[in-house]
Structures are given as C-alpha cells and as structure tokens.
C-alpha cells in the first residue's frame, strides 16, 4: 500500500538521535532551545516553543489566550478534530465556519457571519497545506478585537504574499507527527513574535513552573514556583535532535511534495470527473494532502473510487468529516446538519491521493495509472 503520507528518515536523522541518547540530557537539555531557534528562523517568527504534539500546541495557545467558558472561538468545519477540541479543553465553545468550495480553506465571509459578542478568537487551518486568506482574516480579527491563531500543521514551508507560514498570524502551531511535513515521531511547535505569549506557553508546557530543570541547574538553585496550572507537554532532547535534522531537509521535502503534486495536476488535467486542487498566485502550497474532488459529472461515487483504488494498493483517503458531525459534538453541542453546507458537500466529494517525500517515481506512476484507468476498471466491475 502506498500510504497517503509518511516520514522520510535518513542516516543523518538516525545519527542525530543516537548522539543525544549517548549524551547527558535526554529531555529539557540543549537540543530543545537549538531546535526552537532554528524553527523560529525557518518559520519567520521571533519565538518558537516546542511541545510534545500539535494538540498540546493548540491547547497552550488557547490557555495563553485565556479562552474560558464564556468564549466562542471560530474554527473551520473541515479540519482534524484537535483544532476544535482545544477550545473545548478550556471550557469554550467552538463555532464552525464554512469553507470556500474552490480552495477548501476557511471562507472569511463565513467567519464574519459567525462573529457574536462572545467571540474571542479565530483558529485558521491551512487545509492540505494551502495558507488561508490571512489578509482578510487579520482585518476581521483587528476590526472585532479577536485573536488570530493559525493551525499550520499541514503548511510548514508554504508562504503567503512571500511571507512564510509561521509568521502570518499572531500565533501559529505545527505538528511533527510522521505524516506531517517534518517529523519528531510525536511533537509540536508554536511560533509567535509576542514575548508574553511565548513565556506563558513555556510555563504551561512545564506544569506551570516558573523555571525548568536546566535553568535551575545553571542558577545552582533548587527553588521553583508554580505560578499557573500547566501540564507536562515537554518535547524530549532526542526528538528535538531529530527535528533539527529534519528541518534541514524541510525545503527539499517541500519541493518533493510539490513535484508529486505537479505530476498529478498534469496527469489529471483532462479528466472530467476529477477536479485537481486549487492553486493561487499569492501563495504557495505545502501539499501535506493532495485533495482533489469528484465533479458533478462523475458517474460514480466517492466510495467506488476509494474502494477500487485501495484494492490496487493506493492509500487514497477522505478528509475531513466536518467536526460537528462527530458523535461527541452532536451529543454535547447543538450543530444541525447543514451548519456548513460547503464543507459537508466537499466531504462527499474529496479524495486525497498519496503524497510524501518518501514516494518513488514508480509510486507516483502507479497512482497516476490507477486514477486514469479507474473509469475503465470500474465499468468492467459493474
């Protein structure tokens, strides 16, 4: 099976991890600050705060923003559940905004319609790796006094108007799960130019303590103060060493994902039943996912394509089911079907094709062949 995405690990990555395993620090050591500094530079921000997952990163931002039970935060409907769960962790209410039918990212017009006196912030998600319309979202946030967070888990390496993802909103967060642009197995990062927010998140990831173990060792003191209620969301040193090594290849991974997407675009251009992903001239695409959509002309269903391609070893996927349609959200919130009609329709049409830097030319050719020959294979079956 050619997976929808997967890690690319080389000897340099392995050596970097082994070197840390042989050192004095397995966690809270020098590699954390080194990875943070390199990541901040790459993402075009002043500060980077490492945590142990993309979910922890989202939680840290919602905490630093003081989201509470009276607050609503606007989140796109078509995202991984974690983008909305972080609001619920804080007792707040996620309010779902619809997406643009072409680009599949949050539609600023829908965001504007969902703003109420209780709205505290907006979480934008760069779905599939395409940056949102940050100019429009920043203007909305400023006009209504809202915070703007970018869940950029899909989009490391992409840019908008020439500026890298990581510096497009006041805070941005990333995941280093193996399917994401770079990996530390599990891991996450927040970038920001705001020193107060960065400091609050560093405290939050370490139980709410005012200093970490390494800082106390340096200062030759045992004393610490718990100034806030935090969690253990620390990222270990060998994971940060892997992250540093992966970050050196981020541009190469980005280029390889784009090369696969270019091949698909060209190969599927003439298919009337398939619409390839939107490209916009003011931003680049990180292609965490290659999300195409069945057109209205398609004489077969999403499930037909899914099952036939899977049977051929192509790890085609469907992302995402609108968050509010999941049982937990249906049980605990009042979101009717039809809340975000565009996201619901997209969910019935989307098919994501495998894309990763680990794919070989032969892998890409098999996907192209399986997709192009699908209608013939399907009609001979039925």
SS3 state at 149: strand
Note the helical H segments in the chain: 11-21, 30-43, 54-64, 82-89, 108-114, 134-144, 195-204, 213-219, 237-247, 250-268, 302-311, 327-332, 341-349, 361-372, 374-381
Whole-number minimum distance, CB 54 to ligand PLP, in Å?
2
C-alpha dihedral, 343 to 316 to 297 to 279, nearest 10°:
60
Kindly state whether residue 55 participates in binding ligand PLP, applying the rule CB under 6 A.
Answer: yes
Reading the block at residue 362, the tokens are 């032969």
CA distance 109 to 342: 13
164 or 188, CB closer to ligand PLP?
188
Among 17, 43, 82, 156, binds ligand PLP (CB under 6 A): 82
State which of positions 181-210 bind ligand PLP (CB under 6 A). Answer: 188
Q: Which is nearer to ligand PLP, 58 or 203 (CB)?
A: 58
Is 295 within 8 Å of 274 (Cβ atoms)?
yes
Instruction: Please give the size of the binding site for ligand PLP, defined by CB under 6 A.
Output: 14
180 is catalytic: yes
| CB nearer ligand PLP, residue 271 or residue 358 | 358
Q: State the minimum distance, in angstroms, from the CB of residue 229 to ligand PLP.
A: 21
For residue 43, give the 3-state DSSP assignment. helix
> Which residue in the set 151, 212, 237, 344 belongs to the binding site for ligand PLP (CB under 6 A)?
151
Site for ligand PLP in 62-81 (CB under 6 A): 79-80
| Residue choice 103, 175, 339, 352 for contact with ligand PLP (CB under 6 A) | 175
Among 83, 200, 236, 356, binds ligand PLP (CB under 6 A): 83
From 150, 245, 233, select the one nearest 192 (Cα to Cα): 150
Query: Given 114, 180, 218, 331, which residue is catalytic?
Result: 180
Partners of 206 in the β-ladder: 232
> Which residues belong to the active site?
180
Applying CB under 6 A, the residues found at the interface with ligand PLP are 53-55, 79-80, 82-83, 125, 151, 153-154, 175, 177, 188
């Amino acid at each position: 099976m050619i997976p929808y995405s997967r890690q690319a690990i080389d000897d340099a990555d392995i050596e970097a991890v082994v070197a840390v395993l042989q050192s004095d620090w397995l966690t809270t050591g020098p590699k954390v600050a080194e990875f943070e500094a390199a990541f901040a530079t790459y993402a075009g921000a002043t500060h980077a705060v490492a945590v142990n997952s993309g979910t922890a990163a989202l939680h840290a931002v919602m905490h630093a923003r003081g989201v509470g039970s009276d607050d609503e935060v606007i989140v796109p409907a078509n995202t991984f559940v974690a983008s909305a769960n972080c609001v619920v962790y804080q007792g707040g209410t996620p309010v779902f905004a619809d997406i643009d039918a072409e680009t599949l990212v949050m539609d600023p017009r829908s965001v504007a319609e969902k703003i109420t006196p209780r709205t505290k912030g907006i979480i934008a998600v760069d779905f599939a790796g395409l940056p949102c319309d940050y100019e429009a979202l920043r203007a909305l946030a400023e006009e209504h006094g809202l915070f703007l967070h970018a869940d950029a888990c899909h989009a490391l390496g992409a840019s908008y108007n020439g500026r890298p993802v990581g510096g497009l909103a006041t805070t941005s967060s990333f995941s280093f799960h193996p399917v994401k642009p770079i990996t530390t197995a599990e891991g996450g990062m927040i970038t920001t130019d705001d020193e107060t927010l960065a400091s609050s998140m560093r405290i939050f990831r370490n139980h709410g303590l005012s200093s970490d173990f390494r800082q106390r060792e340096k200062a030759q003191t045992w004393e610490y103060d718990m100034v806030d209620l935090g969690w253990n969301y620390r990222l270990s040193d060998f994971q940060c060493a892997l992250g540093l090594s992966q970050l050196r290849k981020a541009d190469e991974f980005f280029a390889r994902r784009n090369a696969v997407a270019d091949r698909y675009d060209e190969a599927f251009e003439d298919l009337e039943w398939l619409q390839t992903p939107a490209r916009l001239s003011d931003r680049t695409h990180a292609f965490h996912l290659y999300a195409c959509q069945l057109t209205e002309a398609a004489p077969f269903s999403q499930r037909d394509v899914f099952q036939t391609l899977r049977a051929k070893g192509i790890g085609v996927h469907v992302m995402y089911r609108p968050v509010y349609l999941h049982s937990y959200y249906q049980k605990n919130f009042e979101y009717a079907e039809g809340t975000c009609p565009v996201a619901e329709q997209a969910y019935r049409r989307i098919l994501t094709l495998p894309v990763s830097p680990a794919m070989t030319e032969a892998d890409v050719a098999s996907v192209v062949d399986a997709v192009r020959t699908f209608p013939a294979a399907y009609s001979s079956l039925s």
